Amino acid sequence: MGMRLSTAILPIHRWGQGQKLWQRAEALGFHASYTYDHLSWRTFRDGPWFGAVPTLTAAATATQSMRLGTLVTSPNFRHPVTLAKELISLDDISGGRVTLGIGAGGTGFDATALGQEPWTPRERADRFAEFVPLLDRLLTEDAVSYEGDFYQAHEARNIPGCVQRPRLPFAVAATGPRGLRLAARYGQAWVTTGDPKLYEDGTPEQSDQAIRGQADKLTDACAEIGRDVTELDKILLTGFTPDRSRPLESLDAFVDFAGRHRELGFNEIVVHWPIPDSDFAADQKVFERIAMEAPAQLR
């Protein structure tokens, strides 16, 4: 199985500059370019930060063949009815190149920006369990009515539906049992960043072990519903494992890192487009060399 290499371009650039990055990503041969879907994020909160859907819409008109998507959208400030309409439009504008990365959301600015109290992990899981199945219906049915504990839809129309059939793919970010069950049932891909508990003090070996454990739980969740786990792509969003910056230090370091994760069953690795003076700082020349040369070495 070939290893796909993708990138995450944070929405921190005015489009005059940002457009060039998305076009450069396509020229470098990345399988997909994703962006974060947040209102602001961590260390970037006091600087420029643009919206994911308009950014991806602009990227769709500025590129031809590269896939585009969110890593990840969450229920924190989204509603399935309005999100479905935006995704159907984006899938149309891009000619069917969109993947929706979707997760339960977390703490941080998104969790309180609308003036709400942050949800507990349990509340996030409860909402996610309702959000994903409703979004699935909205993207596949012409008209949907639904009454849930958290979300409602009344004769929501979504004609003509997605260009991709039966709908655009979901890449479900999950590590807990309920999220993994949603990935097994609704996902065309599964996304992980590793085990956040290991970020500060863990070793690469502990990280591999934790990720293997997550993948095993995904296999079990698929088996429960009679689905073959190999039907799901497995995506690693890098930058959050203990060896976070090392893979981009050289071509050899990246090939070693990606090869280790291919053995854990991953077939797509996402690297952050370098951002100077940030957690995602990297040498642009090395980054571009990895983009151009690593996929062939990983075949």
Average pLDDT, consecutive stretches of 10 residues, N- to C-terminus, the chain (299 residues):
92 98 98 98 96 98 98 97 98 98 94 93 97 98 98 98 98 97 98 95 96 98 98 97 93 97 97 96 98 95
Integer CA distances (angstroms), 171 to 2, 70, 132, 192, in order: 19, 9, 11, 10
pLDDT the model gives residue 126: 97
Task: Kindly report each contact of residues 112-118 with a partner whose C-beta sits within 8 Å and lies 24 or more positions away, as own/partner.
Answer: 113/39, 113/40, 113/77, 114/77
296 vs 299: CA distance, rounded Å = 5
- Dihedral sign for Cα atoms in the order 184, 186, 189, 192: negative
Please give the DSSP secondary-structure letter assigned to residue 240: S
CB 271 within 8 A of CB 277: no
pLDDT the model gives residue 136: 98
Q: If we measure between CA atoms, which residue out of 74, 77, 253 comes closest to residue 179?
A: 74
Q: Six-digit token pair at 27?
A: 């020229």
**Cis peptide bond upstream of 229, omega within 30:** no
User: What is the pTM assigned to this prediction?
Assistant: 0.97
CB 74 within 8 A of CB 102: yes
Which residues does residue 172 pair with via DSSP β-bridges, in sequence order? 102, 190
Name residue 169's amino acid: P
pLDDT the model gives residue 155: 98
275 vs 96: CA distance, rounded Å = 29
Question: Environment class of residue 55 by beta-carbon count within 10 Å: exposed (0-12), middle (13-18) or buried (19+)?
Answer: buried
What domains appear along the chain, each with residue ranges and CATH number? 4-297 (3.20.20.30)
pLDDT the model gives residue 1: 59
pLDDT the model gives residue 90: 98
